[in-house]
Amino acid sequence: MHSSRHLSPGDTIGILGGGQLGRMLAMAAARLGLRSHVFSPEPNAPAAQVATASITAAFEDTAALDTFARCVNVVTFEFENVPVETVAYLARLRPVHPGPAALDVAQDRLSEKNFLSRLGIATAPYREVNAAEQIPEALESVGRPAVLKTRRFGYDGKGQARVTREADILPAWEQIGGQPAILEGFINFSRELSVVAARGQDGRTACYDLVENRHENHILARTLAPARASEEQTGKARTIAETVLTALDYVGVLAVELFECPDGALLVNEIAPRVHNSGHWTMDACAVSQFEQHVRAVAGWPLGNPVRHSDAIMENLLGRQAAAWAAYLGQPDCVLHLYGKSAMRAGRKMGHVTHIYTKGKRPEEKDARRTVDAATQRTGR
Ligand code: AMP
């Protein structure tokens, strides 16, 4: 099978990773007449259930990677902890978007922070830490309290520990497994925001609205779209996203997670080189979703218009919360998405719901919550 920079309908997008993000990418590809081929280490993965084809194999299995490469025109990934070696191996056989450089930066918190600093983008103060003995000096530098984070493989608050006093140092170091880390100044943020943006192969960018995210137990609980924000903030967030996309010569969708400081300033917490949970609202509140946008970018097609036609609150259905699925079907202006996962483990992302409102008519969060709770109580969530 040949590979070209621009796909045609009927061509195949290879997706590394089989989770819900891959599933929604495969569905967006199908809507555009493209095929998808999912490579996942787990059998019966959510993405494999809806893809045209799938391979179950380890990311290190080069024979399986060769077969996969032969079946696809372009490769992308749905989670950033795919081994860089896997992506680099495939990049010799097929175009890979986003490229290994973006993955390299996003997989390592130190590289990520250094990269952002070089671009003049503000982050929390940070210091590299490779041994517990380095923590006291780093603490002096970043200030107290601070957060110790592993450089690699941290997500949803995993691989993190708070350090306030000297007595916290050793337990924190042990808690993160004594791995190479960074110590970050704790930001007393007023809100967590994010922006999802895309860059096409022609270098054009498209940016969705700035949104507000509410986390519970370090996991995203809901996204409010758009964020109530000043023009200055929305402009700033867009500039940050565009600067990052351009600096990485990026192709595809990327998310930038931000802390809003009490004075309104924005600091970047992290970059996700992929479609993102805080962009799920775009499926129901924009003509072109983040998933379609990513498919367009990796296919070498023009990006779509990221304009929002409705306001939205996206609610994640975690673990047992998904048992209330039927209640959402009965609610007007509510769109249900389920990911095809059978085991409802605590905190596991089983699906999400988008509440759609006429632009400018989104209720205050507490009022919106009341409607949701009333619906879900009926099913004993
Ligand atoms: P992360 O894995 O870096 O996205 O962190 C997960 C969550 O921990 C973030 O969404 C924040 O709520 C919190 N967090 C991470 N870093 C900091 C920080 N430097 N200051 C305050 N809260 C933080």
Which numbered atom of ligand 1 lies nearest the CA of 187? 20
- Say what the pLDDT of residue 1 is: 47
Q: Whose CA is nearest to atom 1 of ligand 1?
A: 157
Cα 156 to averaged position of ligand 1 atoms, centre (Å): 8
* Burial profile 259-281: b = 16 or more Cβ within 10 angstroms, e = fewer: bbbeeeebbbbbbbbbbbbbbbb
pLDDT in tens, 55-96: 999 999 999 999 999 999 999 999 988 999 999 999 999 999
243 in Cβ contact with 259 (< 8 Å) = no
pLDDT in tens, 245-275: 999 999 999 999 999 999 999 999 999 999 9
In percent, the amount of the chain with pLDDT more than 90 equals 89
| 3-class secondary structure per residue, 23-92 | HHHHHHHHHCCCEEEEEECCCCCCCCCCCCEEEECCCCCHHHHHHHHHHCCEEEECCCCCCHHHHHHHHC
Of 47, 36, 40, nearest to 7 by C-alpha is 36
pLDDT in tens, 354-370: 999 999 999 888 777 77
Vertex 182, ends 179 and 185: CA angle to 5°? 140
Whether 229 lines ligand 1, by a CB cut-off of 6 Å, is: no
8-state DSSP, 319: G
Q: Please, which residues bridge with residue 196 across strands?
A: 255
pLDDT in tens, 103-147: 999 999 999 999 999 999 999 999 999 999 999 999 999 999 999
Which residue reads 């009341």 in tokens? 370
Q: Is 52 exposed, middle or buried (0-12, 13-18, 19+ CB in 10 A)?
A: middle
For the cut 50, the answer to whether the pLDDT of residue 380 exceeds it is: no
For the cut 90, the answer to whether the pLDDT of residue 371 exceeds it is: no
Whether 203 lines ligand 1, by a CB cut-off of 6 Å, is: no
Cα 157 to averaged position of ligand 1 atoms, centre (Å): 7
pLDDT in tens, 178-229: 999 999 999 999 999 999 999 999 999 999 999 999 999 989 999 999 999 9
- Say what the pLDDT of residue 81 is: 87
Say which residue, 347 or 154, is predicted with more confidence: 347
pLDDT in tens, 26-62: 999 999 999 999 999 999 999 999 999 999 999 999 9
Whether 168 lines ligand 1, by a CB cut-off of 6 Å, is: no
Whether 184 lines ligand 1, by a CB cut-off of 6 Å, is: yes
The mean pLDDT of 10-39, rounded to a whole number, is: 98
Cα 271 to averaged position of ligand 1 atoms, centre (Å): 12
Q: Which of 3-12, 38-47, 327-336 has the lowest mean pLDDT?
A: 3-12
Asked if residue 98 has a cis previous peptide bond (ω within 30° of 0), the answer is yes
Q: Whose CA is nearest to atom 6 of ligand 1?
A: 157
pLDDT in tens, 135-151: 999 999 999 999 999 99
254 in Cβ contact with 263 (< 8 Å) = no
Ligand 1 pocket test target in 269, 270, 271, 277 with most atoms within 8 Å of CB = 269
User: What mean pLDDT is reported for the chain?
Assistant: 94
Q: Whose CA is nearest to atom 8 of ligand 1?
A: 157
Which residue reads 């032969």 in tokens? 70
For the cut 60, the answer to whether the pLDDT of residue 17 exceeds it is: yes
For the cut 50, the answer to whether the pLDDT of residue 3 exceeds it is: no
Cα 160 to averaged position of ligand 1 atoms, centre (Å): 9
